Structures are given as C-alpha cells and as structure tokens.
Amino acid sequence: MTRGIAARLSVLDRWLPAWILAAMAVGLGAGRLVPGLGDAVQAVRVDGVSVPIAVGLLAMMYPVLAKVRYDRLDTVTRDRRLLVPSLVLNWVVGPAVMFALAWLFLPDLPAYRTGLIVVGLARCIAMVVIWNDLACGDREAAAVLVALNSVFQVLAFGALGWFYLSVLPGWLGLPTTDLHVSPWAIVGNVLVFLGIPLALGYLSRRLGERVRGRTWYESRFLPTVGPVALYGLLCTIVILFAVQGRQITAHPLDVARIALPLLAYFAVLWFGSYALGRAVKLPYERTATLAFTAAGNNFELAIAVTIATFGATSGQALAGVVGPLIEVPVLVALVYVSLALRNRTEPS
C-alpha cells in the first residue's frame, strides 16, 4: 500500500515530510541563533500583515487555485452533504472542541488556554488548499469551502471570541477574558491570504484557456507553475519559525503542554470529519476536503490577534505560535493517512 502511494507522488512530494522538518529546523535555528532576526522580519508589515509570510502564502496558494476548474463550482454549491457539515464542523464543532480541550489540558495556565481558544476560532482559509491538493481532494470543493470560511470569519470571529472567552466561561462559573478584535484586520487578512491568490488563479485559468485552450493550460502551464506551491510552503515555514524561533525554543516545557491539546484537537476534528463524510456517502475527494478544511486553522490570524490583544511576549501569543508548529507536521502526516484510506477504499 505504501509503495503504491509513493509511486504516485513526484520526488518533491515523496520527500515532503523531510523537507518540511528541515524547513522547521532551519527556521527555528535561525530565529534562535541570529539576534534580532524575528524582529526584523516582523517589522516588514503592511496594515498588520507580515509581508514575508504573505509572499510565501501567496506563492503557495496560487498554483493550487490556478488548478481549480471554476466552471465546476456550481456542482459543489448544490451539494448540501458537503456544505452543511462543513459549516457546522468549522463554526460550531471546531471552536467548541478547542474550548473543551483547552480547559481540560490547561486549567492552570489561563494565558495558554486563551491562546488556544483563539486558534480554534481562526478557521483555515489558506494553507488548507495545499494539504487538500496533496491528498488528492476536490479542488473545486476546497475553493468553495475556504471562500465560505472567509465570509464567516469576517462575520463570526469577533462574536465567537466574545462568546467563548467572556460569555460561556461566565455561564460555567469560570474566569472570563476580553478579546479586542478589529473587523477590518480580519477583512484585510481574508483579502490578502485568500482574495489575491483566488483572483490570480481565476484570471490565469480564464485567460490561459481563452488564449491557448484547456489542453495547453492543463498539460503545459499547470505543470510548470505547480512546484511553486511547495517552494512557497517551505519558504513560509522557514520564515514563520524564524520569526518565532527564539520564543519557541526558550519555553520547551510550555510548548509540550500546549502541544497536547492541539494534537487531540487535530485528531478529533480530522478523523471525526472524515468519518462524517463517509457516513453521508461523500466520495473520497470531497470527504478528504471536508476533513482538511475542518481540521486546519488560520495561524496568521490567530498569531496576529493574540499579539495585538495581549502582546508579543504573552503566553497567548506563544500558544498561537505553537499552533503551526504542531499543525504543519500533523497535517502532512494526515495527508499520507488520507491517501492510505483512499488506497484501501478505492477498487484496484
């Protein structure tokens, strides 16, 4: 089974876990060993958005969104077996699961607990497209779901933050926390990390097919730009961990405490969503998309919100930073789990 999966992957894809671990190590090492590197990278910001991270994410997302066949999106929007479970998993189940796990694992660490709850509220609209693509999920479905998540993120993030940090703990007799979130910051986050690559991907396909035809576009253009996605992913990881390397390596025991509920969260959301997709008889491609879009989180938004509200050296910000430290390798591993499940369920 493993050989069959590996044979379908390119050399770059086949060794992706090793490249990602190396990128994480390089970033952490650089952030730890080069004084002021994190501050220098963080200083390059436009309206609160980190320019180096934005460039990496745009390079990562553009090729995947250029592969989407936008003329097929209407078939996705009519599939209630996909849309309804996705919205429920992302905006009801996901935040509730993270809230419960944060209180279960970190009852004595309120700063880290708050940071994790914010991570659970920031639903993924960026990196999930590459995990979905690597797992051979439905690209059109992923495009629709991340677009829906972006709309709900603008509308619901602040309200859910107020509910899970101030209202629900009060009802349960637990300590409460205030969260101050600018809706314009969330709009900017969505426009940069989803709007730009989505617009570029759509225009590329429309213009490419109009000028040279679909055959040329899919057989010549897409294979040329495709590897840029993985290069962008690796660059993003290096930059992200370089920015936060000193903070992560200075608190190894705290990182371990924060990692436990995150590991439980990704396992519960991914496997639960995958099981739900199979239960409602979605095909593998849409089941994988449902699972990855439910389990992923918008780490850039979570980090930005925790830093803006509680400070760059706060425990809340550290919890936000640990999010991608755990999410990246775990979701890469789940790509291979997903491919193995497809190999078992698809007829040979």
What number is the average pLDDT over the span 194-206?
91
Low-confidence winner among 151-160, 224-233, 236-245 (lowest mean pLDDT) = 236-245
Extract the tokens encoding 82: 């996909």
What integer pLDDT is reported at residue 212 of this predicted model?
Answer: 93
Tell me the residue type at 125.
Answer: I
C-alpha distance across the termini of the chain, in Å: 11
* Residue 41 or 132, more confident: 132
- The domain ranges of the chain are 14-345
* Residue 248 or 136, more confident: 136
Phi, psi of 45 (to 5 degrees): -135, 150
List, for residues 253-288, the tens digit of each pLDDT value.
999 999 999 999 999 999 999 999 999 999 999 999
Cα 296 from Cα 127, distance rounded (Å): 8
What number is the average pLDDT over the span 28-41?
77
What integer pLDDT is reported at residue 293 of this predicted model?
Answer: 96
Q: What is the pTM of this model?
A: 0.85
pLDDT bucket at 11, cuts 50 / 70 / 90: low
- Class of the CATH domain delimited by 14-345: mainly alpha
Tell me the residue type at 139.
Answer: R
- Does 5 have pLDDT greater than 50? no
What number is the average pLDDT over the span 210-219?
94
DSSP state of 2: H
- Does 103 have pLDDT greater than 80? yes
